A = this chain, B = another copy of it.
Amino acid sequence: MPTLQDVAREAGVSKMTVSNVLNGRRDRVSPATIARVMEVVTRLGYVPNASARSLSARRSNIVALAFPSRDAGGVTPMTNPHDSLFLSEVEAQVTQAGLYLMAHSVNSVESTAHSLRSWNVDGAIFLGTRADEVAALHTAYDAPMVFVDNHGTSPHISNVGIEDRLGGQLAGRRLIEAGHRRIGFVGPRFDEPGVVRERHAGFVQALTEAGLSLRPEHVVHCDAGFDHAVAAARRVLAAPQRPTAVFATADIIAAGLLKGFVRAGCPVPDQMSIIGFDDLEVARHVSPEITTLHQDIPGKARAAVEVLLTQLAHWPAARSERRVLGVSLVERESVAPPPAS
């Protein structure tokens, strides 16, 4: 059984350095040395006693990814491709940093704070929290936390997100540029600050710039599930002076609308144009393929882990950090000029 001493000798560093690397005190060690030590640890099969280490170093080397449990729309957590792609990349990055990932679905702020404290995780990344939950979590739990896609306004929290508002604006502009004047909006309710509210705001801004307005009867609320969206298509078509195009706040909604429109005898894009959001695989599975706003989900995951590792290295003196990733329009097949009326 190799010892700490063996690892130190083989890597040509002090035992203290090996200990610093293994116990997460990595800000004192160069990246090259970290890599060398980890290589030796793996090659020799050195097994630090993690539980003992956790007690002594007050570090568990576990970070948690907290995601929402079954939501209002009845969608099973993590089966949303956005979330599973995000998890996948977080896991890869966390493993590469020599840490462990705990996956934890979140019912409530209280039970989450309880779990995180109980397991002494070093820090946590939160997916899908509401803006108002962030403050409650900060009160209940004192450790590095990074939120994702949270549009709360507190300057004290770390957040990684994307340009949701710009995305909505680009969608609106593209449909206007194609000649549409009656454009609908389909997405979940957005009473709270969040990505849907931002995407809606950007979309309305594009209409306003063009001297248009979003008519209340052209707003159809629909949870982010395929079947919800198939059903929502009928409500779009039943609206007075029905729209000739819609902006859907998620690709899964766009895909469901597409099926609903075609079933109702309204071909896409000849009679109805659609723009989605996220650039998930589903946008390319369907025919016609869906024009959408691309966001870099693995990039967002990498940024979240980076921010968390920076926080860990400087905790408790860490400063909060906000990162915003860009979005871009991906042209596919679901946008055409409005039908001649």
Residues of chain A touching chain B, judged by Cβ–Cβ distance below 8 Å, are 42, 45, 47-52, 54-55, 60, 62, 65, 69, 76-79, 81, 83-85, 87-89, 91-92, 95, 100-105, 110-111, 114-115, 117-120, 226, 255, 259, 262, 281-282, 284-287, 298
With CB as the reference atom, state the residue of chain B lying closest to A70.
B92
A92 touches B69 (CB 8 A): yes
> Chain A binding site: helix, strand, loop or mixed by DSSP?
helix
List residues of chain B with CB within 8 A of the CB of A102. 62, 100-103
A118 touches B262 (CB 8 A): no
A47 touches B118 (CB 8 A): yes
Given A114-B45, A287-B286, residue A87 in contact with residue B103 (CB < 8 A)? yes
A51 to B117, CA, bound (A): 11
With CB as the reference atom, state the residue of chain B lying closest to A80.
B84
A54 to B81, CA, bound (A): 35
A84 to B60, CA, bound (A): 26
List residues of chain B with CB within 8 A of the CB of A45. 110, 114
List residues of chain B with CB within 8 A of the CB of A120. 49-51
B281 touches A259 (CB 8 A): no
A79 touches B69 (CB 8 A): no
